[in-house]
Amino acid sequence: MTVLAIFRSRAQALEYISVLKGSGVPAQAVNTPKEAGVGCGISAKFEEAFLPRARACLAKKQYSSFSGFMRRAGGGFLYL
């Protein structure tokens, strides 16, 4: 299942994607869904199997613009 890491900062989202990839998590930048309610426009997309590793990467650095993780639910996304 697809998970998104939602950020309010484009720069922090792109940095986080780089950290994920460096940790072996296949991740990519995607448009932030409207359900997130933030305006940056870019989120990190990865598979739910990598969520524990993604959380560990998030804890390595303070990302002040991190809003939360969202999971695909039906035709949209919901915060975890």
User: How high is the pLDDT of residue 40?
Assistant: 65
pLDDT digits (tens, 9 = 90+) for 18-74: 999 999 999 999 999 988 988 768 999 999 999 999 999 999 998 999 999 999 888
Closest of 37, 36, 49, 34 to residue 5, by C-alpha? 36
Q: What is the pTM of this model?
A: 0.93
Q: What domains are there in the chain, each with its CATH number?
A: 2-79 (3.30.70.1530)
Return d(Cα 51, Cα 58) in angstroms, integer. 10
pLDDT band, residue 9 (cuts 50/70/90)? very high
User: How high is the pLDDT of residue 74?
Assistant: 85
User: How high is the pLDDT of residue 75?
Assistant: 85
Closest of 74, 77, 29, 71 to residue 51, by C-alpha? 71
